Amino acid sequence: MASPSSMTTTSSTTSKLVFSGCSTSSSSSSSPRLLPLTTATTSSKCRAFHFHRRFNPLRHVHLRPCKNPTTVFAQTISPPSFIAAAMATEPSAKVIDGKRVAKEIREEVAAGVSKMKEALGVVPGLAVILVGDRKDSATYVRNKKKACEDAGIKSFEACLPKDATEEEVLKHISSFNNDPAVHGILVQLPLPSHINEQNVLNAVCIEKDVDGFHPLNIGRLAMRDREPLFVPCTPKGCIELLHRYGVVIKGKRAVVIGRSNIVGMPAALLLQREDATVSVVHSRTKNPEEFTREADIIISAVGQANMVKGSWIKPGAVIIDVGINPVEDSESPRGYRLVGDVCYDEARQIASAITPVPGGVGPMTIAMLLSNTLTSAKRIHNFN
Ligand SMILES: NC(=O)C1=CN([C@@H]2O[C@H](COP(=O)(O)OP(=O)(O)OC[C@H]3O[C@@H](n4cnc5c(N)ncnc54)[C@H](OP(=O)(O)O)[C@@H]3O)[C@@H](O)[C@H]2O)C=CC1
Ligand SMILES: Nc1nc(=O)c2c([nH]1)NC[C@@H]1CN(c3ccc(C(=O)N[C@@H](CCC(=O)O)C(=O)O)cc3)C=[N+]21
């Protein structure tokens, strides 16, 4: 049985279970067709506790041992039992429960907010700028606002019409930059096409850049021995999930699918900072599956439903699925449901651990935003 932590296929006679087709339903009962080819040998290492350092933006804010540290033993899975298990199509991967971890983090943030309020009478504040009327953006902003309320963080909002000018957006940023009650500023992306995203992101002062999208923060993330003030929330959430589930990153082969400024690129930089050896796959990569099949850890941030098939995955790999893709579903009240970039049903049978969509990385993005906002308020007020 694959273990979620630190499991790596080491054998050169690696087993390949080739899946054909992909069910788009995460709860579907349809079984993927499995074609066992060779054998698998897996090895795992003992793990120690991880401790998260205070005020290091690459870590979560609180000094605490990670949850669920796992001690895994070296093990060899003999071909017959491994293949038999897979042929029975029993999902063997551990489900990485982002919703649960995000709730824990939000509670930790709420406790930190109360402490700060009690000691200094200061309440952390997060300002969100929303331009236009995209439904998905409005939903995220509403969810962020609710999460702020729950954590005791004060919400500020500027909702501008879709034909708002760049100058108007910049004026709001400047006003939030100068407002001492605001400790974090987020400009919801994407912006309407007539607004220059670079100009807007450059205008957010780096001390309040809780999204971590300012070029100075990204630049520092890319440089050795330099520390960004903030790390982008989604990639930070991915790494936090790996830490909290005791997945060893150091020395592992990681593949990031996607190279966007907000997810793929910073995710690759973070994995590299954690001493993984990282490959980045993008739309111009030929035969992406040749890269992913070698990966111990895959982070997929593409935006294409079910692109990553079971056959792309090395047995025992850990899969972080960032993609959020609506697919038509007449049975769902909304008429659609959300799926990731990865064929979940196939991947569950071959990976050792996987994040679901929804309930995986998405909730972590919001939790990290709250955590970054608290970190910002603490840093500005010099409060530990
Ligand atoms: N869970 C969460 O909290 C969040 C989820 N998301 C979701 O993550 C996904 C990615 O978002 P984002 O990074 O903003 O998207 P972008 O569209 O900005 O980037 C997509 C990336 O995927 C690459 N790509 C596109 N098609 C392929 C392909 N066929 N094979 C390999 N790579 C491909 C692109 O390559 P190229 O560079 O060559 O164009 C690009 O680098 C979306 O589904 C989005 O909704 C995003 C943010 C947060
Ligand atoms: N400046 C900026 N910062 C962002 O971080 C940012 C952004 N712009 N633009 C859009 C993307 C997308 N994004 C998500 C956040 C939470 C969920 C989330 O919570 N998703 C739920 C599902 C929600 C639902 O059911 O609709 C889940 O995956 O479980 C998803 C996506 C942040 N983004």
CA of 323 to the centre of ligand 2 (A): 10
Position 49 scores a pLDDT of 27
Alpha carbon distance 57, 42 (integer Å) = 34
User: Do 246 and 157 belong to one domain?
Assistant: no
CB atoms within 10 A of CB 271: 25
User: Do 251 and 341 belong to one domain?
Assistant: yes
CB atoms within 10 A of CB 340: 32
Residue 76 DSSP code: -
- Specify the number of domains making up the chain: 2
Assess if residue 384 is contained within a domain.
Answer: no
User: Do 217 and 242 belong to one domain?
Assistant: no
**What CATH number corresponds to the domain at position 142?**
3.40.50.10860
CA of 75 to the centre of ligand 2 (A): 38
Catalytically active residues are: 144, 188, 211
Q: pLDDT: is 148 or 75 the higher one?
A: 148
ipTM over 0.95: yes
User: Do 46 and 96 belong to one domain?
Assistant: yes
User: Do 81 and 130 belong to one domain?
Assistant: no
- pLDDT at residue 35 tops 70: no
Residue whose C-alpha is closest to residue 156's, from 172, 139, 140, 170: 172
The one-letter amino acid code at 373 reads: T
Position 91 scores a pLDDT of 76
Q: pLDDT: is 357 or 25 the higher one?
A: 357
User: Do 215 and 333 belong to one domain?
Assistant: no
Position 13 scores a pLDDT of 31
| Burial letters 95-133, b for 16+ CB under 10 A, else e | bbbbeebbeebbebbbebbeebeeeeebebbbbbbbbbe
Which range of residues forms the domain containing residue 264?
8-102+232-365
Nearest atom, ligand 2, residue 190 CA: 9
User: Do 241 and 360 belong to one domain?
Assistant: yes
Position 22 scores a pLDDT of 64
Q: Give the max Cα distance, the chain.
A: 66
Position 246 scores a pLDDT of 98
- Contact status, residue 184 vs residue 212, Cβ threshold 8 Å: no
Q: How far is CA 203 from CA 62, 160, 344, in A?
A: 30, 17, 40
Position 52 scores a pLDDT of 35
Helix (H) or strand (E) holding 221: helix 215-222
The residue whose CA is least distant from atom 25 of ligand 1 is 283
Which pTM does this prediction carry? Answer: 0.84
Mean pLDDT of 119-134: 98
Position 371 scores a pLDDT of 98
Number of helical H runs and strand E runs in the chain: 11, 15
- pLDDT at residue 153 tops 80: yes
Among the bound ligands, the one closest to the CA of 342: 1
Pocket of ligand 2 (CB under 6 A): 139-140, 143, 186-189, 211, 233-234, 324, 338, 357-359, 362-363, 365-366
| Radius of gyration, CA atoms only, the chain | 21
Alpha carbon distance 285, 307 (integer Å) = 14
User: Do 205 and 134 belong to one domain?
Assistant: yes
The residue whose CA is least distant from atom 1 of ligand 1 is 362
Assess if residue 26 is contained within a domain.
Answer: yes
User: Do 51 and 155 belong to one domain?
Assistant: no
User: Do 129 and 85 belong to one domain?
Assistant: no
Question: Whats the size of the chain, residue-wise?
Answer: 384
CA of 364 to the centre of ligand 2 (A): 9
Token duo for residue 145: 């606002």
User: Do 243 and 202 belong to one domain?
Assistant: no
Assess if residue 1 is contained within a domain.
Answer: no
- pLDDT at residue 77 tops 80: no
**What CATH number corresponds to the domain at position 258?**
3.40.50.720
Token duo for residue 116: 């700060």
Alpha carbon distance 241, 286 (integer Å) = 29
Lowest model confidence (mean pLDDT) among 53-67, 172-186, 307-321: 53-67
Alpha carbon distance 110, 123 (integer Å) = 11
Pocket of ligand 1 (CB under 6 A): 234, 257-260, 262-264, 281-285, 288, 301-304, 322-325, 361-362, 365
Assess if residue 320 is contained within a domain.
Answer: yes
The residue whose CA is least distant from atom 9 of ligand 2 is 189
- pLDDT at residue 16 tops 90: no
The residue whose CA is least distant from atom 16 of ligand 2 is 362
The residue whose CA is least distant from atom 38 of ligand 1 is 283
User: Do 247 and 301 belong to one domain?
Assistant: yes
- pLDDT band of residue 2 (cuts 50, 70, 90) is very low
- pLDDT at residue 104 tops 50: yes
